[in-house]
Amino acid sequence: MATASVATHDTAHDHHDHEHHDNFVTKYIFSTDHKMIGKQFLLTGIFWALIGGLLSVLFRLQLGFPDMNLEWLRPLLGGWITETGQLDQTFYLALVTMHGTIMVFFVLTAGLSGTFSNFLIPLQIGARDMASGFMNMLSYWFFFISSVIMFISLFIKTGPAGGGWVVYPPLSALEQAIPGSGLGMTLWLIAMTFFIASSLLGGINYITTVINLRTKGMSFSRLPLTIWAFFLTAVIGLLSFPVLFAAALLLVFDRSFGTSFYLSDIYIGGEALPNTGGSPVLYQHLFWFLGHPEVYIVLLPALGITSEVIATNSRKPIFGYKAMIISMLGITILSFIVWAHHMFVSGMNPFLGSIFMFLTLIIAIPSAVKVFNYLTTLWRGNLIFTPAMLFSIGLVSFFISGGLTGIFLGNSAIDIQLHDTYFVVAHFHLVMGSASFFGLVAGVYHWFPKMFGRMMDARLGYVHFWLTFVGVYMVFFPMHYIGIAGFPRRYYSWTGFEFSNMYTDLNMFVSVAAIITFAAQFIFLFNFFYSMYRGRKATQNPWRSNTLEWTTPIHPGHGNWPGEIPTVYRWPYDYSKPGAKEDFIPQTVPLSATPESNLPHEQELVKLELEIMKEESEALVANEAKES
Amino acid sequence: MEKELKYVDLVEQPISMHPKKFALWLFMVTVVMIFAALTSAYIVRQAEGNWLEYDLPEIFWFTSGIVLLSSVFLHWAYISAKKDNLLQLRIGMSIAVALGIAFLVGQWYSWVALVDRQVFFVGNPSGSFLYVFTGLHGLHLISGVIFLIIVLISSFRYKVHSQSMDTMEMATSYWHFLGGLWIYLFMFLLLNH
C-alpha cells in the first residue's frame, strides 16, 4: 500500500496478533470471526437449498406425472407413499409448505444475507470484525438450532407443517384441521422463533458495524453498493421480523392456550368450537407486514452483489451510484406500506385495496431505475464474462421478466382472476426466488477466491449457468399460462378439472425442466467443494477490483489486515478512469497519487487530503515518541 | 493504558458511537416494533366489533407511579455514579431494583383483579390482548431487572464509576425505555378502551 498513513506501530494490531492460537473448536465451530461465520451460514444455506430443491422435485413429480408409480421413493418417503404408489395428499401440502419456508427463510434470508453480510461487511468497510463477534456467533447458532428443529419436523409421524408457508389461521391454528397443523406446526413455530432471534441478532450487528466501524475515509457516499444493500436489508429485517414474532406469538396462544385472536365461530364435524371474537384477517395483516418486506430482505442483497459484480466485470463505474442508493432507500420505505396487496381478495375494503394498489405500483419506479442502471452500466463496457458476471446478468433478466408480471398482480382488479394461481407462483419465483438465487450464486463465484483462497472452475461455471438460466425460464415461463387459465397453486391434482386437464403436457415439460435444473446444481456443488481443496490458487485481486476486501492477504486472519486498516480515499467504482494507467484504481490509492486521472473537483480534494495525511503522520510520530 | 486508548481512538472513525450502546438502541427498536404490531392489531381487531368492555384494574395507576419512581431513583444513581458518589449510586440502584420488583408484583395483582372481573386470558380478545401486553412487557421488565442487578453487583465491586459508565448508561437507557413503554401501553389502553 502506497499510502502515507500506513504505520509500522499499531497497538490494535499487536493485540490481534495474540489471537492466532485457535484450536479446531474455536476456529471452525464456535468461531467469532465474521468470515468463518459467513462460511457457516453459506454451508448451512447450501444444505437447506438441497433439501428445499429436493422437496420441489418431489411435488413436481406429482404435478407432471400424476399417474406415475412412486413406489421407488418408498425407501425415502416411507408411509408418505400410499399403497397405490401415489404421493400422500396431505404430505403434498407439507411439501409445498416446507419448500416455501426453507427457500424463503433458510436459504434466501439466512443463506444469502447471513453469508454475505457477515463475510463482506467488515471486509468492505475496513473493520477488524463485526461490532460484537459473540452476538454474531449467537446469531449463527440460533439459526442452527432453528435448522435442527425444522429438520426434525420433516421426519415426525404427522408430517411437517402443511398450511402453506404463510401459515394462515384457522388452518394452522386448529390441530384437527389437517395432520400438518399438529406437532409439525408447533415445531415450525418454535423453529421460526429461533430464526427471528437469529435474524435480529445478525441485523443489529450489521447495522451497528456499518454505522460505527467504517475505516477512515469510508463515508457513506464511498460505500460499495453491496454494503448499502446489506445495510438496508438489515434495517428492513429489524423493523419487520418483530412483527412476525408478534403474529406468531398470538398464533401460539391460539393454538396452545385456547385464546381467540384469530379464531371465531368455527364448526368442525358439526361441533362449534368455543372460540369467538377472533379475526383471521388480523393474522394476514400482521404476517404480510413482515411478509412483504421479507421479499426485499431476500432481494436487496442479491441486487447489491449484482451492482458490484456488474461494475467490476464491465470495467465501468456503476451507472447512477446515487440513483441506486436512492432507489434502494425508496424500496426500503415502500416495502412497509404495500403489504395489503397480498390480501386484495381477503374481504378487505376495496377502497383500501385501491390505495395499496397505488402504493404497490410506485415500487415499479425504483425497480425500473435499478434495471436501467444495470443495463447502462453494461452498455459499451469491456465486458468480462466470468461465471459471476453471467449470473448477475441472469439476475437482471429475471428481475425484468418477473417484475413485469408484478405490475399485473399489483392491480387489485386483475388480481381477482390471478390471485393464488400459478401466475403468482411464476411471478415470485422469477423476480424473488430465481433472481435472489442467482445473486447468491454470483456472490459465491465472485468471492470464492476471498473465502477459500482458490478459484472456482470457470468452465463448469458456464455449464452451470446456461443449464440453470435456461432451466429456470423453462420451468417458470409456462406457469404463466397455467395461471392465466386459472389453475390454483398448492392443489395436489389438476387432472380432475375440465379447464385444466389439457395442460398435462405443459406440466410434464415443467417437471422435466425442474429436474434438469435441480440436477445442474450438482455441477455447482462439485465445483464448490472440489475448488475449495483443488482449485487454482487465487491471486490477491483476481477480478482487478477496487474494493477493500481485495487488499487483505489471500488468506486473511482474524482481524483481516495485518498492520493498520487501510484508509479509503475514493469511491469504489473508479474503473477505466480516463488517463489512469490501469483500468481500475483501488479505494486505498490516494487522489494525490493519481494526478493524471483526477477530475477538476478531485484535484481540489487533493489539497485537503495532503493536509489530513500530514496531521496524521505528525500525530503518529508524536505518539511513538511518547511510547518510547 | 490511557495513551493506548487515545491512539486507538485516533485510528477509529471520529463520529462513531459505542457499538454496544448502539446495538442496545437497535434492540429497543425491535421491542418497539413488537408492541407497535400488537397495539395496531388491538385497534384493527377492536374496529371489527364483538368487543368485551370492562374497566381497567385501578392498580395500573399505582404500578405506573412505581415504574416512574424507579426510573427517577435510577437516574439519581446514574448522576451519582458520574460524580463518583458510590454510596448514593448503590442506594439509588437498590431502590430502583426494589421498585422494579414491586412493579412486577403489582402487574401480577392486576391479573388477579382481571380474573375477579371475569376477564380471562382465554375468551374475548379484548381481555386476551391485555394479558399479552402486560405479560410481554413484564418479560422485558424481568430482563431489565436482571440487567440492573448485574450492574448493581458490579457497582459493589467498584466497577461502576465516572470512568466506567458504559454498562450503567446502557442499563439506565434500557430501564427508562421499559418504563416509557409501560406508560405508552397504559395510555394506549386508557384511550382505546
pLDDT one-digit tens code per residue, A416-427? 999 999 999 999
Query: Do A211 and B31 make contact, defined as CB atoms within 8 angstroms?
Result: no
pLDDT digits (tens, 9 = 90+) for A191-234: 999 999 999 999 999 999 999 999 988 999 999 999 999 999 99
Cα within 13 Å of Cα(B54), Cβ side? 19
The DSSP letter of residue A454 is B
Q: Domain residues for B52?
A: 2-191
pLDDT digits (tens, 9 = 90+) for A575-597: 999 989 889 999 999 998 888 88
Query: Do A260 and B128 make contact, defined as CB atoms within 8 angstroms?
Result: yes
Instruction: Give me the residue label for grid cell 404480510.
Output: A288
Query: Of A408, A598, A440, A430, which is closest to residue A45 (Cα–Cα)?
Result: A440
The CATH number covering residue B185 comes to: 1.20.120.80
- At residue B76, the pLDDT reads 95
Query: Do A205 and B3 make contact, defined as CB atoms within 8 angstroms?
Result: no
- At residue A277, the pLDDT reads 84
Query: Do B22 and A277 make contact, defined as CB atoms within 8 angstroms?
Result: no
CATH code for residues A11-18+33-534: 1.20.210.10
pLDDT digits (tens, 9 = 90+) for B129-162: 999 999 999 999 999 999 999 999 999 998 888 8
| Cell (9 digits) for A447 | 468471492
Between A585 and B17, name the one with better pLDDT: A585
Give yes or no for residue A11 having a pLDDT over 60. Answer: no
- Shortest CA gap A217–chain B (Å): 8
Q: With beta carbons under 8 A apart, name residues in chain A contacting B44.
A: 279, 282, 285
**Cβ atoms within 10 Å, residue A71:** 12
**Cβ atoms within 10 Å, residue B50:** 16
| Three-state secondary structure string covering A566-608 | CCCCCCCCCECCCCCCCCECCCCCCHHHCCCCCCHHHHHHHHH
CB A64 within 8 A of CB A512: yes
- Mean pLDDT in chain B? 89
Give yes or no for residue B13 having a pLDDT over 60. Answer: no
Strand partners, B164: B161
Structure pTM?
Answer: 0.92
Question: Considering only alpha carbons, which residue of chain A is nearest residue B14?
Answer: A216
Number of domains in chain B: 1
pLDDT digits (tens, 9 = 90+) for B35-45: 999 999 999 88
- Mean pLDDT in chain A? 91
Give the start-end residues of each E strand in A356-506. none
pLDDT digits (tens, 9 = 90+) for B64-106: 999 999 999 999 999 999 999 999 999 999 999 999 999 999 9
Best residue in A6, A8, A208 to probe B by mutation, most B CBs within 10 Å?
Answer: A208
Q: What is the mean pLDDT of residues A489-514?
A: 89
- At residue A616, the pLDDT reads 79
Query: Do A626 and B45 make contact, defined as CB atoms within 8 angstroms?
Result: no
Between A20 and A477, name the one with better pLDDT: A477
Q: With beta carbons under 8 A apart, name residues in chain B contacting A289.
A: 37
| Cell (9 digits) for A173 | 391454528
Q: With beta carbons under 8 A apart, name residues in chain A contacting B122.
A: 257-260
Give yes or no for residue A256 having a pLDDT over 60. Answer: yes
Best residue in A3, A196, A282, A615 to probe B by mutation, most B CBs within 10 Å?
Answer: A282
Q: With beta carbons under 8 A apart, name residues in chain B contacting A251.
A: none
How far is it, in rounded angstroms, from Cα A240 to Cα A255? Answer: 23
Strand partners, A267: A272
Pairing of strands A271-272, A267-268: antiparallel
- At residue B17, the pLDDT reads 74
Ordered DSSP codes for B55-77: PPPTHHHHHHHHHHHHHHHHHHH
Query: Do B38 and A246 make contact, defined as CB atoms within 8 angstroms?
Result: yes
Query: Do B16 and A213 make contact, defined as CB atoms within 8 angstroms?
Result: yes
Give yes or no for residue A19 having a pLDDT over 60. Answer: no
pLDDT digits (tens, 9 = 90+) for A40-55: 999 999 999 999 999 9
Best residue in B30, B44, B174 to probe A by mutation, most A CBs within 10 Å?
Answer: B30
- At residue A347, the pLDDT reads 85
All structural domains of chain A with their residue ranges: 11-18+33-534, 567-627
How does residue B2 score in pLDDT terms, banded at 50, 70 and 90? Answer: very low
pLDDT digits (tens, 9 = 90+) for A118-170: 999 999 999 999 998 899 999 999 999 999 999 999 999 999 999 999 999 99
Instruction: Give me the residue label for grid cell 429489524.
Output: A238
Provide, rounded to the nearest whole percent, the portion of chain A with pLDDT above 70. 96
Instruction: Give me the residue label for grid cell 449463527.
Output: A140
